[in-house]
Chain A
Amino acid sequence: MEDLKTKQKNVISDETIEYVGILAKLELSDEEKERAKRDMGEMLDYIDKLNELDTDGVEPMSHVFPVNNVFREDVVTNGDGSEATLANAPERKDQGFKVPKTIG
Protein backbone atom coordinates (compact mmCIF):
# COMPACT_ATOMS: atom_id res chain seq x y z
CA MET A 1 0.00 0.00 0.00
CA GLU A 2 2.75 2.40 1.03
CA ASP A 3 4.54 1.50 -2.18
CA LEU A 4 1.55 2.31 -4.31
CA LYS A 5 1.10 5.62 -2.58
CA THR A 6 4.67 6.78 -3.08
CA LYS A 7 4.99 5.42 -6.58
CA GLN A 8 5.58 8.13 -9.14
CA LYS A 9 3.60 8.13 -12.33
CA ASN A 10 6.11 10.33 -14.12
CA VAL A 11 9.43 8.57 -14.14
CA ILE A 12 12.21 10.80 -15.40
CA SER A 13 14.97 8.99 -17.23
CA ASP A 14 18.69 9.72 -17.07
CA GLU A 15 18.49 10.85 -20.70
CA THR A 16 15.76 13.38 -19.93
CA ILE A 17 17.70 14.88 -17.02
CA GLU A 18 20.79 15.04 -19.23
CA TYR A 19 18.79 16.79 -21.96
CA VAL A 20 17.10 19.24 -19.60
CA GLY A 21 20.49 19.99 -18.09
CA ILE A 22 21.72 20.99 -21.54
CA LEU A 23 18.69 23.23 -22.11
CA ALA A 24 19.04 24.78 -18.66
CA LYS A 25 22.82 25.10 -18.95
CA LEU A 26 23.28 23.38 -15.62
CA GLU A 27 25.82 20.74 -14.74
CA LEU A 28 24.42 18.60 -11.97
CA SER A 29 26.38 16.23 -9.79
CA ASP A 30 25.25 12.59 -9.72
CA GLU A 31 23.57 13.20 -6.41
CA GLU A 32 21.82 16.31 -7.75
CA LYS A 33 20.68 14.37 -10.82
CA GLU A 34 19.01 11.72 -8.69
CA ARG A 35 17.32 14.38 -6.61
CA ALA A 36 16.25 16.27 -9.75
CA LYS A 37 14.74 13.09 -11.25
CA ARG A 38 12.68 12.53 -8.13
CA ASP A 39 11.70 16.20 -7.70
CA MET A 40 10.69 16.66 -11.30
CA GLY A 41 8.69 13.43 -11.31
CA GLU A 42 6.85 14.47 -8.18
CA MET A 43 6.13 17.92 -9.55
CA LEU A 44 4.86 16.51 -12.84
CA ASP A 45 2.60 14.07 -10.98
CA TYR A 46 1.20 17.05 -9.17
CA ILE A 47 0.94 19.20 -12.30
CA ASP A 48 -0.92 16.37 -14.07
CA LYS A 49 -3.86 17.41 -11.92
CA LEU A 50 -4.49 20.01 -14.62
CA ASN A 51 -5.57 17.17 -16.91
CA GLU A 52 -8.76 16.85 -14.87
CA LEU A 53 -9.82 20.16 -16.39
CA ASP A 54 -11.51 20.31 -19.75
CA THR A 55 -9.74 23.16 -21.51
CA ASP A 56 -10.91 22.36 -25.04
CA GLY A 57 -11.59 25.56 -26.92
CA VAL A 58 -10.00 27.73 -24.22
CA GLU A 59 -7.39 30.10 -25.63
CA PRO A 60 -4.07 30.05 -23.73
CA MET A 61 -3.82 33.30 -21.78
CA SER A 62 -0.28 34.66 -21.57
CA HIS A 63 -1.29 38.12 -20.43
CA VAL A 64 -4.29 39.14 -18.38
CA PHE A 65 -4.62 42.46 -20.20
CA PRO A 66 -4.23 43.04 -23.90
CA VAL A 67 -0.53 43.69 -24.44
CA ASN A 68 0.58 45.64 -27.47
CA ASN A 69 4.00 46.44 -28.76
CA VAL A 70 5.16 49.77 -27.41
CA PHE A 71 7.16 51.80 -29.89
CA ARG A 72 9.32 54.83 -29.30
CA GLU A 73 12.02 56.70 -31.13
CA ASP A 74 15.43 55.18 -30.59
CA VAL A 75 17.00 58.16 -28.87
CA VAL A 76 19.85 57.91 -26.38
CA THR A 77 18.77 59.44 -23.08
CA ASN A 78 21.54 58.22 -20.79
CA GLY A 79 25.24 58.97 -20.99
CA ASP A 80 28.15 56.62 -21.52
CA GLY A 81 27.85 54.03 -18.77
CA SER A 82 30.45 51.65 -20.13
CA GLU A 83 32.93 52.09 -17.29
CA ALA A 84 30.31 51.39 -14.59
CA THR A 85 29.03 48.42 -16.60
CA LEU A 86 32.49 46.98 -17.13
CA ALA A 87 33.22 47.41 -13.44
CA ASN A 88 30.89 44.42 -12.87
CA ALA A 89 32.79 42.18 -15.33
CA PRO A 90 34.17 39.00 -13.76
CA GLU A 91 37.08 39.47 -16.14
CA ARG A 92 37.73 42.34 -18.49
CA LYS A 93 40.30 43.23 -21.09
CA ASP A 94 40.56 46.88 -22.04
CA GLN A 95 37.04 48.00 -22.96
CA GLY A 96 35.56 44.51 -23.26
CA PHE A 97 34.37 41.46 -21.33
CA LYS A 98 36.92 38.67 -21.36
CA VAL A 99 35.60 35.19 -22.15
CA PRO A 100 37.25 31.90 -23.15
CA LYS A 101 38.19 31.54 -26.79
CA THR A 102 35.07 30.70 -28.81
CA ILE A 103 36.47 30.31 -32.33
CA GLY A 104 39.49 28.31 -33.31
Chain B
Amino acid sequence: MDLMSLTAVELGSRIKAGEVTAEEAAQAALDAIEKKEKAVNSFVTVDREGALRRAAEVQKKINDGTLTGPLAGVPVAIKDNMCTEGLLTTCSSKILYNFVPTYTAEAVRRLEQAGAVILGKTNMDEFAMGSTTETSAFGETKNPWNTEHVPGGSSGGSCAAVAAEECSYALGSDTGGSIRQPSSFCGVTGLKPTYGTVSRYGLIAYGSSLDQIGPIAKDVTDCATILEVIASHDAKDSTSVLRDDYQFTGALVDDVAGMRIGVPRDYFGEGLDPEVREAVLHVAEELKKKGAAVEEFDLSLVEYAIPAYYVIACAEASSNLARFDGVKYGYRTGEYEELHGMYKKSRSEGFGAEAKRRIMLGSFVLSSGYYDAYYLKALRTKALIKRAFDKAFASYDVILGPAAPTTAPRLGESLADPIKMYLGDIYTIAVNLAGLPGISLPCGKDKNGLPIGVQLIGDCFQEKKIIRAAYAFERTRSYEHSPMAM
Protein backbone atom coordinates (compact mmCIF):
# COMPACT_ATOMS: atom_id res chain seq x y z
CA MET B 1 0.00 0.00 0.00
CA ASP B 2 1.32 3.42 -0.91
CA LEU B 3 0.72 5.58 2.15
CA MET B 4 1.31 8.77 0.20
CA SER B 5 -1.56 8.10 -2.18
CA LEU B 6 -4.03 8.33 0.70
CA THR B 7 -5.75 11.55 1.70
CA ALA B 8 -4.68 13.09 5.00
CA VAL B 9 -7.87 11.95 6.71
CA GLU B 10 -7.56 8.40 5.33
CA LEU B 11 -3.96 8.16 6.52
CA GLY B 12 -4.92 9.66 9.89
CA SER B 13 -7.63 7.07 10.42
CA ARG B 14 -5.24 4.22 9.58
CA ILE B 15 -2.74 5.60 12.08
CA LYS B 16 -5.48 5.88 14.65
CA ALA B 17 -6.55 2.30 14.00
CA GLY B 18 -2.98 1.14 14.58
CA GLU B 19 -2.56 -0.15 11.01
CA VAL B 20 0.23 2.34 10.31
CA THR B 21 2.51 4.24 12.68
CA ALA B 22 3.33 7.93 12.49
CA GLU B 23 6.98 6.95 11.99
CA GLU B 24 6.10 4.78 8.99
CA ALA B 25 4.05 7.64 7.52
CA ALA B 26 6.88 10.15 8.05
CA GLN B 27 9.38 7.72 6.54
CA ALA B 28 7.15 7.15 3.50
CA ALA B 29 6.91 10.91 2.95
CA LEU B 30 10.67 11.41 3.37
CA ASP B 31 11.35 8.57 0.92
CA ALA B 32 8.98 10.17 -1.59
CA ILE B 33 10.74 13.52 -1.14
CA GLU B 34 14.11 11.86 -1.62
CA LYS B 35 12.91 10.25 -4.83
CA LYS B 36 11.04 13.19 -6.38
CA GLU B 37 12.63 16.41 -5.15
CA LYS B 38 15.17 16.56 -7.91
CA ALA B 39 12.42 16.66 -10.51
CA VAL B 40 9.88 18.86 -8.66
CA ASN B 41 11.82 21.08 -6.23
CA SER B 42 8.81 21.67 -3.98
CA PHE B 43 10.87 22.21 -0.84
CA VAL B 44 13.30 24.86 0.32
CA THR B 45 14.09 22.90 3.48
CA VAL B 46 13.48 19.26 4.36
CA ASP B 47 13.71 18.53 8.09
CA ARG B 48 14.39 14.79 7.99
CA GLU B 49 15.63 14.38 11.56
CA GLY B 50 13.04 16.71 13.05
CA ALA B 51 10.22 14.90 11.24
CA LEU B 52 11.30 11.45 12.43
CA ARG B 53 11.86 12.64 16.00
CA ARG B 54 8.49 14.33 16.01
CA ALA B 55 6.76 11.29 14.49
CA ALA B 56 8.06 9.13 17.35
CA GLU B 57 6.79 11.64 19.93
CA VAL B 58 3.40 11.84 18.24
CA GLN B 59 3.09 8.05 18.04
CA LYS B 60 3.69 7.82 21.79
CA LYS B 61 0.90 10.32 22.40
CA ILE B 62 -1.40 8.40 20.06
CA ASN B 63 -0.59 5.20 21.93
CA ASP B 64 -1.31 6.70 25.34
CA GLY B 65 -4.53 8.30 24.12
CA THR B 66 -3.46 11.97 24.40
CA LEU B 67 -3.74 12.54 20.65
CA THR B 68 -6.99 11.38 19.10
CA GLY B 69 -7.65 13.88 16.31
CA PRO B 70 -8.02 13.04 12.60
CA LEU B 71 -4.63 14.51 11.63
CA ALA B 72 -2.49 12.98 14.38
CA GLY B 73 0.68 11.52 12.90
CA VAL B 74 -0.04 12.75 9.36
CA PRO B 75 2.94 14.39 7.60
CA VAL B 76 2.52 17.98 6.40
CA ALA B 77 4.54 20.55 4.43
CA ILE B 78 4.45 24.22 5.38
CA LYS B 79 4.86 27.16 2.99
CA ASP B 80 8.13 28.90 3.74
CA ASN B 81 6.50 32.19 4.78
CA MET B 82 5.20 30.74 8.04
CA CYS B 83 7.57 30.93 10.98
CA THR B 84 8.66 27.63 12.48
CA GLU B 85 10.71 27.79 15.67
CA GLY B 86 14.22 26.47 15.13
CA LEU B 87 13.57 25.69 11.44
CA LEU B 88 14.86 27.86 8.60
CA THR B 89 12.18 30.20 7.20
CA THR B 90 13.23 32.05 4.05
CA CYS B 91 10.15 33.30 2.19
CA SER B 92 12.19 32.00 -0.78
CA SER B 93 14.25 35.19 -0.54
CA LYS B 94 17.96 35.75 -0.31
CA ILE B 95 17.28 38.43 2.29
CA LEU B 96 16.07 35.72 4.72
CA TYR B 97 18.45 32.98 3.53
CA ASN B 98 19.60 32.19 7.08
CA PHE B 99 16.62 33.23 9.21
CA VAL B 100 15.72 30.81 12.01
CA PRO B 101 12.55 31.98 13.78
CA THR B 102 12.35 31.99 17.56
CA TYR B 103 8.62 31.24 17.51
CA THR B 104 6.04 29.29 15.52
CA ALA B 105 3.14 30.71 13.54
CA GLU B 106 -0.20 30.19 15.29
CA ALA B 107 -1.70 28.13 12.44
CA VAL B 108 1.33 25.83 12.46
CA ARG B 109 1.30 25.60 16.27
CA ARG B 110 -2.33 24.49 16.12
CA LEU B 111 -1.42 21.78 13.61
CA GLU B 112 1.41 20.61 15.85
CA GLN B 113 -0.97 20.50 18.78
CA ALA B 114 -3.19 18.23 16.68
CA GLY B 115 -0.26 15.87 16.10
CA ALA B 116 0.96 17.01 12.68
CA VAL B 117 4.45 15.93 11.65
CA ILE B 118 6.21 18.74 9.79
CA LEU B 119 8.38 17.50 6.93
CA GLY B 120 9.80 20.83 5.89
CA LYS B 121 9.17 24.17 4.24
CA THR B 122 7.89 24.60 0.71
CA ASN B 123 9.09 26.80 -2.10
CA MET B 124 7.15 29.89 -3.13
CA ASP B 125 7.39 33.07 -5.12
CA GLU B 126 9.68 35.40 -3.19
CA PHE B 127 7.60 36.95 -0.39
CA ALA B 128 4.52 35.40 -2.10
CA MET B 129 4.89 37.89 -4.96
CA GLY B 130 4.18 36.03 -8.16
CA SER B 131 1.95 33.53 -9.88
CA THR B 132 4.46 30.88 -10.98
CA THR B 133 6.94 30.14 -8.13
CA GLU B 134 9.62 31.29 -10.57
CA THR B 135 10.56 34.35 -8.51
CA SER B 136 11.96 32.12 -5.73
CA ALA B 137 15.62 32.74 -4.92
CA PHE B 138 16.02 28.97 -4.59
CA GLY B 139 15.01 27.84 -8.06
CA GLU B 140 11.65 27.23 -9.63
CA THR B 141 9.26 24.46 -8.64
CA LYS B 142 7.97 22.26 -11.46
CA ASN B 143 4.44 21.13 -12.11
CA PRO B 144 4.09 17.43 -11.19
CA TRP B 145 1.73 16.92 -14.15
CA ASN B 146 4.36 18.11 -16.60
CA THR B 147 7.72 19.35 -15.39
CA GLU B 148 8.04 21.69 -18.37
CA HIS B 149 5.25 23.76 -16.81
CA VAL B 150 4.98 25.98 -13.75
CA PRO B 151 3.02 24.83 -10.68
CA GLY B 152 1.45 28.28 -10.35
CA GLY B 153 2.06 30.49 -7.37
CA SER B 154 2.77 31.77 -5.00
CA SER B 155 2.08 28.58 -2.98
CA GLY B 156 3.51 26.52 -5.87
CA GLY B 157 5.77 24.42 -3.65
CA SER B 158 2.91 23.43 -1.34
CA CYS B 159 0.58 22.51 -4.23
CA ALA B 160 3.30 20.62 -6.13
CA ALA B 161 4.27 18.72 -2.96
CA VAL B 162 0.65 17.60 -2.50
CA ALA B 163 0.23 16.66 -6.19
CA ALA B 164 3.58 14.83 -6.29
CA GLU B 165 2.59 13.05 -3.05
CA GLU B 166 5.66 14.16 -1.14
CA CYS B 167 3.36 15.07 1.78
CA SER B 168 -0.20 14.24 2.78
CA TYR B 169 -1.29 17.87 2.84
CA ALA B 170 0.20 21.35 3.06
CA LEU B 171 -0.44 24.86 4.26
CA GLY B 172 -0.36 27.75 1.83
CA SER B 173 -1.19 31.43 1.98
CA ASP B 174 -3.42 33.42 -0.35
CA THR B 175 -3.12 37.18 -0.91
CA GLY B 176 -4.51 37.40 -4.45
CA GLY B 177 -5.08 33.76 -5.40
CA SER B 178 -1.88 32.13 -4.14
CA ILE B 179 -3.66 29.03 -2.82
CA ARG B 180 -6.43 28.70 -5.41
CA GLN B 181 -4.50 29.30 -8.64
CA PRO B 182 -1.64 26.82 -7.97
CA SER B 183 -4.20 24.31 -6.66
CA SER B 184 -5.94 24.62 -10.00
CA PHE B 185 -2.67 24.22 -11.95
CA CYS B 186 -1.58 21.18 -9.88
CA GLY B 187 -4.92 19.36 -9.77
CA VAL B 188 -5.38 19.60 -5.99
CA THR B 189 -7.89 21.26 -3.67
CA GLY B 190 -7.08 24.51 -1.88
CA LEU B 191 -9.21 26.71 0.33
CA LYS B 192 -8.76 30.37 1.14
CA PRO B 193 -10.81 31.14 4.27
CA THR B 194 -12.68 34.34 5.10
CA TYR B 195 -10.22 37.06 6.14
CA GLY B 196 -9.57 36.83 9.88
CA THR B 197 -10.46 33.13 10.19
CA VAL B 198 -6.91 31.77 10.47
CA SER B 199 -4.46 33.72 12.60
CA ARG B 200 -1.76 35.57 10.68
CA TYR B 201 0.54 35.52 13.72
CA GLY B 202 3.88 34.26 12.44
CA LEU B 203 2.92 34.57 8.77
CA ILE B 204 5.51 36.85 7.21
CA ALA B 205 3.33 39.67 5.93
CA TYR B 206 2.99 40.65 2.29
CA GLY B 207 -0.39 42.44 1.99
CA SER B 208 -1.67 42.32 5.56
CA SER B 209 -5.27 43.29 4.75
CA LEU B 210 -5.48 40.48 2.16
CA ASP B 211 -3.27 37.63 3.46
CA GLN B 212 -4.93 34.43 4.69
CA ILE B 213 -3.46 31.02 5.46
CA GLY B 214 -5.37 27.99 4.18
CA PRO B 215 -5.20 24.24 3.55
CA ILE B 216 -4.06 22.49 0.36
CA ALA B 217 -4.88 18.78 0.02
CA LYS B 218 -6.20 16.03 -2.22
CA ASP B 219 -9.86 16.61 -1.45
CA VAL B 220 -12.55 18.72 0.15
CA THR B 221 -12.82 16.50 3.25
CA ASP B 222 -9.15 17.08 4.00
CA CYS B 223 -9.48 20.84 3.50
CA ALA B 224 -12.48 21.10 5.84
CA THR B 225 -10.74 18.94 8.45
CA ILE B 226 -7.50 20.95 8.30
CA LEU B 227 -9.36 24.26 8.40
CA GLU B 228 -11.18 23.11 11.51
CA VAL B 229 -7.80 22.63 13.19
CA ILE B 230 -6.08 25.85 12.07
CA ALA B 231 -8.99 28.30 12.39
CA SER B 232 -9.09 30.20 15.69
CA HIS B 233 -9.69 33.51 17.32
CA ASP B 234 -6.20 34.64 18.25
CA ALA B 235 -5.39 37.57 20.51
CA LYS B 236 -1.95 37.73 18.87
CA ASP B 237 -3.52 38.83 15.54
CA SER B 238 -5.50 42.03 15.89
CA THR B 239 -7.47 41.29 12.71
CA SER B 240 -8.48 37.84 13.91
CA VAL B 241 -12.26 37.42 13.95
CA LEU B 242 -14.27 35.48 16.54
CA ARG B 243 -16.63 33.29 14.54
CA ASP B 244 -19.82 31.60 15.68
CA ASP B 245 -19.06 28.30 14.06
CA TYR B 246 -15.80 26.44 13.51
CA GLN B 247 -17.34 23.03 12.65
CA PHE B 248 -16.46 23.06 8.95
CA THR B 249 -16.59 19.27 8.56
CA GLY B 250 -20.30 19.44 9.32
CA ALA B 251 -20.73 20.75 5.76
CA LEU B 252 -19.38 17.58 4.15
CA VAL B 253 -22.75 16.48 2.86
CA ASP B 254 -23.65 15.46 -0.66
CA ASP B 255 -26.68 17.70 -0.86
CA VAL B 256 -27.06 20.90 -2.86
CA ALA B 257 -30.81 20.71 -3.35
CA GLY B 258 -32.17 24.22 -3.45
CA MET B 259 -28.74 25.83 -3.26
CA ARG B 260 -28.62 29.01 -5.34
CA ILE B 261 -25.52 29.13 -7.51
CA GLY B 262 -24.61 32.23 -9.49
CA VAL B 263 -22.40 32.01 -12.55
CA PRO B 264 -20.97 35.46 -13.36
CA ARG B 265 -21.05 36.12 -17.12
CA ASP B 266 -18.08 38.46 -16.66
CA TYR B 267 -15.95 35.47 -15.55
CA PHE B 268 -16.49 33.74 -18.88
CA GLY B 269 -15.51 36.52 -21.28
CA GLU B 270 -12.43 37.30 -23.31
CA GLY B 271 -9.17 35.64 -22.28
CA LEU B 272 -10.75 32.47 -20.94
CA ASP B 273 -9.40 29.28 -22.48
CA PRO B 274 -12.31 27.40 -24.15
CA GLU B 275 -11.31 24.10 -22.55
CA VAL B 276 -11.30 25.70 -19.09
CA ARG B 277 -14.66 27.26 -19.84
CA GLU B 278 -16.18 23.96 -20.83
CA ALA B 279 -14.82 22.08 -17.80
CA VAL B 280 -16.02 24.75 -15.38
CA LEU B 281 -19.49 25.00 -16.91
CA HIS B 282 -19.72 21.22 -16.62
CA VAL B 283 -19.45 21.65 -12.83
CA ALA B 284 -22.46 23.96 -12.92
CA GLU B 285 -24.34 21.29 -14.88
CA GLU B 286 -23.47 18.57 -12.36
CA LEU B 287 -24.61 20.70 -9.45
CA LYS B 288 -27.81 21.50 -11.31
CA LYS B 289 -28.43 17.77 -11.76
CA LYS B 290 -28.11 17.44 -8.00
CA GLY B 291 -30.84 20.00 -7.44
CA ALA B 292 -29.02 23.33 -7.24
CA ALA B 293 -30.61 26.37 -8.88
CA VAL B 294 -27.98 27.64 -11.30
CA GLU B 295 -28.31 31.07 -12.87
CA GLU B 296 -26.11 33.44 -14.84
CA PHE B 297 -25.68 37.01 -13.65
CA ASP B 298 -23.47 40.09 -14.06
CA LEU B 299 -21.08 40.59 -11.17
CA SER B 300 -19.60 43.82 -12.60
CA LEU B 301 -16.34 45.65 -11.82
CA VAL B 302 -14.29 42.52 -12.55
CA GLU B 303 -11.67 44.40 -14.60
CA TYR B 304 -11.01 46.88 -11.79
CA ALA B 305 -9.99 44.29 -9.20
CA ILE B 306 -6.46 43.76 -10.52
CA PRO B 307 -5.39 47.42 -10.67
CA ALA B 308 -6.93 48.07 -7.24
CA TYR B 309 -5.18 44.99 -5.86
CA TYR B 310 -1.75 46.00 -7.13
CA VAL B 311 -2.03 49.43 -5.54
CA ILE B 312 -3.17 48.06 -2.19
CA ALA B 313 -0.93 44.98 -2.05
CA CYS B 314 2.18 46.88 -3.16
CA ALA B 315 1.48 49.73 -0.73
CA GLU B 316 1.20 47.26 2.13
CA ALA B 317 4.23 45.31 0.89
CA SER B 318 6.40 48.43 0.76
CA SER B 319 5.55 49.04 4.39
CA ASN B 320 5.77 45.39 5.53
CA LEU B 321 9.07 44.76 3.80
CA ALA B 322 10.68 47.87 5.33
CA ARG B 323 11.71 45.69 8.29
CA PHE B 324 14.28 43.78 6.24
CA ASP B 325 17.32 45.96 6.70
CA GLY B 326 20.22 43.65 7.58
CA VAL B 327 20.29 44.61 11.25
CA LYS B 328 18.59 41.94 13.36
CA TYR B 329 18.36 38.95 11.03
CA GLY B 330 18.79 37.85 7.46
CA TYR B 331 21.17 39.05 4.80
CA ARG B 332 23.63 41.91 5.36
CA THR B 333 25.81 43.18 2.54
CA GLY B 334 29.52 42.45 2.76
CA GLU B 335 30.89 45.93 2.46
CA TYR B 336 29.35 49.16 3.69
CA GLU B 337 30.25 52.41 5.30
CA GLU B 338 27.43 54.13 7.08
CA LEU B 339 24.04 52.93 8.34
CA HIS B 340 21.81 54.06 5.47
CA GLY B 341 24.27 52.75 2.95
CA MET B 342 24.14 49.40 4.72
CA TYR B 343 20.33 49.34 4.65
CA LYS B 344 20.18 50.20 0.98
CA LYS B 345 22.87 47.81 -0.15
CA SER B 346 21.58 44.93 1.96
CA ARG B 347 18.05 45.40 0.62
CA SER B 348 19.12 45.89 -2.98
CA GLU B 349 21.25 42.75 -2.94
CA GLY B 350 18.79 40.75 -0.83
CA PHE B 351 15.51 41.31 -2.69
CA GLY B 352 14.79 39.86 -6.13
CA ALA B 353 13.44 41.80 -9.12
CA GLU B 354 9.72 41.25 -8.49
CA ALA B 355 9.95 42.19 -4.80
CA LYS B 356 11.83 45.37 -5.72
CA ARG B 357 9.30 46.21 -8.43
CA ARG B 358 6.43 45.95 -5.94
CA ILE B 359 8.26 47.83 -3.16
CA MET B 360 8.99 50.66 -5.60
CA LEU B 361 5.39 50.85 -6.85
CA GLY B 362 4.08 50.67 -3.29
CA SER B 363 6.39 53.45 -2.11
CA PHE B 364 5.28 55.58 -5.05
CA VAL B 365 1.51 55.20 -4.52
CA LEU B 366 1.90 56.05 -0.84
CA SER B 367 4.12 59.07 -1.47
CA SER B 368 2.92 62.57 -0.86
CA GLY B 369 1.02 63.88 -3.87
CA TYR B 370 0.01 60.45 -5.15
CA TYR B 371 -1.60 58.95 -2.04
CA ASP B 372 -5.10 60.22 -2.82
CA ALA B 373 -4.97 59.59 -6.55
CA TYR B 374 -3.76 56.02 -6.25
CA TYR B 375 -4.01 54.58 -2.76
CA LEU B 376 -7.31 56.08 -1.66
CA LYS B 377 -8.77 55.55 -5.14
CA ALA B 378 -7.92 51.86 -4.84
CA LEU B 379 -9.52 51.65 -1.38
CA ARG B 380 -12.69 53.28 -2.76
CA THR B 381 -12.69 50.77 -5.61
CA LYS B 382 -12.35 47.99 -3.05
CA ALA B 383 -15.49 49.30 -1.32
CA LEU B 384 -17.38 49.17 -4.64
CA ILE B 385 -16.16 45.63 -5.31
CA LYS B 386 -17.33 44.57 -1.86
CA ARG B 387 -20.74 46.08 -2.62
CA ALA B 388 -20.95 44.15 -5.90
CA PHE B 389 -20.34 40.91 -4.02
CA ASP B 390 -22.83 41.88 -1.30
CA LYS B 391 -25.42 42.37 -4.01
CA ALA B 392 -24.59 39.02 -5.60
CA PHE B 393 -24.79 37.17 -2.29
CA ALA B 394 -28.23 38.62 -1.66
CA SER B 395 -29.34 36.36 -4.53
CA TYR B 396 -26.90 33.45 -4.45
CA ASP B 397 -25.35 31.10 -1.89
CA VAL B 398 -22.28 30.39 -3.99
CA ILE B 399 -20.57 31.99 -6.98
CA LEU B 400 -19.08 29.52 -9.45
CA GLY B 401 -16.33 30.28 -11.96
CA PRO B 402 -12.85 29.34 -13.10
CA ALA B 403 -9.88 29.63 -10.74
CA ALA B 404 -7.62 30.81 -13.57
CA PRO B 405 -8.17 31.69 -17.24
CA THR B 406 -5.79 28.99 -18.49
CA THR B 407 -4.02 25.84 -17.37
CA ALA B 408 -0.39 26.05 -16.20
CA PRO B 409 1.88 27.99 -18.57
CA ARG B 410 5.27 26.68 -19.59
CA LEU B 411 8.28 27.55 -17.42
CA GLY B 412 9.98 30.77 -18.41
CA GLU B 413 7.05 32.30 -20.29
CA SER B 414 5.48 34.50 -17.63
CA LEU B 415 7.98 36.82 -15.97
CA ALA B 416 8.91 38.87 -19.05
CA ASP B 417 5.49 40.55 -19.14
CA PRO B 418 4.38 41.29 -15.56
CA ILE B 419 1.02 42.83 -16.48
CA LYS B 420 0.09 39.79 -18.52
CA MET B 421 1.05 37.59 -15.58
CA TYR B 422 -1.01 39.75 -13.21
CA LEU B 423 -4.03 39.33 -15.52
CA GLY B 424 -3.93 35.60 -14.79
CA ASP B 425 -5.24 36.42 -11.30
CA ILE B 426 -8.43 38.02 -12.60
CA TYR B 427 -10.83 35.47 -11.06
CA THR B 428 -9.13 35.15 -7.69
CA ILE B 429 -8.03 38.65 -6.71
CA ALA B 430 -11.43 40.25 -6.03
CA VAL B 431 -12.12 37.54 -3.45
CA ASN B 432 -9.19 38.79 -1.35
CA LEU B 433 -10.23 42.43 -1.72
CA ALA B 434 -13.68 41.53 -0.39
CA GLY B 435 -12.33 39.19 2.32
CA LEU B 436 -14.40 36.25 1.03
CA PRO B 437 -13.76 32.51 1.27
CA GLY B 438 -12.97 30.62 -1.94
CA ILE B 439 -12.09 27.06 -2.83
CA SER B 440 -10.49 25.66 -5.96
CA LEU B 441 -10.84 21.99 -6.83
CA PRO B 442 -10.02 19.90 -9.89
CA CYS B 443 -12.76 19.57 -12.51
CA GLY B 444 -11.00 18.26 -15.60
CA LYS B 445 -7.92 18.38 -17.79
CA ASP B 446 -7.03 20.12 -21.03
CA LYS B 447 -5.88 18.37 -24.21
CA ASN B 448 -2.30 18.45 -22.95
CA GLY B 449 -3.26 16.61 -19.80
CA LEU B 450 -2.90 19.62 -17.50
CA PRO B 451 -5.45 20.04 -14.67
CA ILE B 452 -8.27 22.58 -14.70
CA GLY B 453 -9.72 23.98 -11.47
CA VAL B 454 -13.17 25.32 -10.65
CA GLN B 455 -13.52 28.05 -8.04
CA LEU B 456 -16.45 28.35 -5.66
CA ILE B 457 -16.78 31.64 -3.80
CA GLY B 458 -18.90 32.22 -0.73
CA ASP B 459 -20.03 35.23 1.25
CA CYS B 460 -18.00 36.16 4.34
CA PHE B 461 -18.13 33.37 6.96
CA GLN B 462 -20.01 31.06 4.58
CA GLU B 463 -17.22 28.49 4.15
CA LYS B 464 -19.74 25.76 4.84
CA LYS B 465 -21.71 26.59 1.71
CA ILE B 466 -18.70 26.38 -0.58
CA ILE B 467 -17.50 23.23 1.19
CA ARG B 468 -20.92 21.64 0.66
CA ALA B 469 -21.08 22.57 -3.03
CA ALA B 470 -17.46 21.50 -3.59
CA TYR B 471 -18.05 18.21 -1.80
CA ALA B 472 -21.19 17.49 -3.83
CA PHE B 473 -19.34 18.08 -7.10
CA GLU B 474 -16.33 16.08 -5.95
CA ARG B 475 -18.58 13.03 -5.46
CA THR B 476 -19.18 13.00 -9.23
CA ARG B 477 -15.55 12.22 -10.08
CA SER B 478 -12.59 10.40 -8.58
CA TYR B 479 -9.30 12.00 -7.59
CA GLU B 480 -6.70 11.85 -10.32
CA HIS B 481 -3.15 11.30 -9.15
CA SER B 482 -0.45 13.22 -11.03
CA PRO B 483 2.10 11.22 -13.04
CA MET B 484 4.68 12.25 -10.44
CA ALA B 485 2.64 10.51 -7.75
CA MET B 486 3.44 7.09 -9.18
State the A residues within 8 Å of B (CB).
Answer: 16-17, 19-21, 23-28, 32, 36, 39-40, 42-44, 46-53, 55, 58-65, 67, 69-70, 72, 78, 81, 84-85, 87-91, 97, 99-102
Contact = CB atoms under 8 A, between A and B. Distances in A.
23 contacts: A16-B364, A23-B363, A24-B356, A24-B359, A25-B340, A26-B359, A32-B356, A40-B361, A44-B374, A47-B365, A61-B382, A62-B209, A63-B239, A64-B434, A65-B241, A67-B239, A69-B238, A70-B238, A81-B103, A88-B99, A88-B328, A90-B331, A102-B338
A90 B367 contact: no
B380 A40 contact: no
Contacts of A69: 238
B348 A27 contact: yes
Contacts of A72: 235
Contacts of A46: 306-307, 310, 419
Main secondary structure of the interface of A (DSSP, over half): loop
Given A27-B344, A64-B195, A100-B339, A58 B327 contact: no
Given A26-B359, A70-B238, 9 more contacts: A23-B318, A25-B322, A26-B347, A26-B356, A40-B361, A40-B364, A58-B383, A63-B239, A88-B330
Interface centre among B339, B340, B342, B363, by most chain A C-beta atoms within 10 angstroms, is: B363
Interface string B325-341: 11111111000111111
- 6 nearest A-B pairs in the assembled complex, by CB-CB distance: A60-B379, A64-B435, A90-B332, A88-B329, A55-B380, A61-B383
A50 B322 contact: no
Contacts of B339: 99-102
B100 interface: yes
Given A24-B318, A50-B304, A100 B336 contact: yes
A49 B310 CA distance: 12
B348 A28 contact: yes
A85 B362 CA distance: 29
Contacts of A87: 100
B379 A99 contact: no
B345 interface: yes
Contacts of A84: 102
B360 A20 contact: yes
Contacts of B307: 46-50
Contact of B360 (A36, A47, A50, A67): A36
B91 interface: no
Given A23-B363, A25-B347, A90-B326, A53 B384 contact: yes
Contacts of B460: 64-65
B377 interface: yes
B343 interface: yes
B325 to A, nearest CB: 7
Given A63-B239, A85-B328, A42 B348 contact: no
A50 B329 contact: no
Interface in B225-267: 235, 238-239, 241
Contacts of A32: 356
B237 to A, nearest CB: 9
A20 to B, nearest CB: 5
Contacts of B340: 25
Given A65-B195, A100-B339, A25 B239 contact: no
Contacts of B361: 39-40, 43
A40 B359 CA distance: 11
B274 interface: no
Nearest to B328: A97
A49 B363 contact: no
A55 B348 contact: no
B438 to A, nearest CB: 14
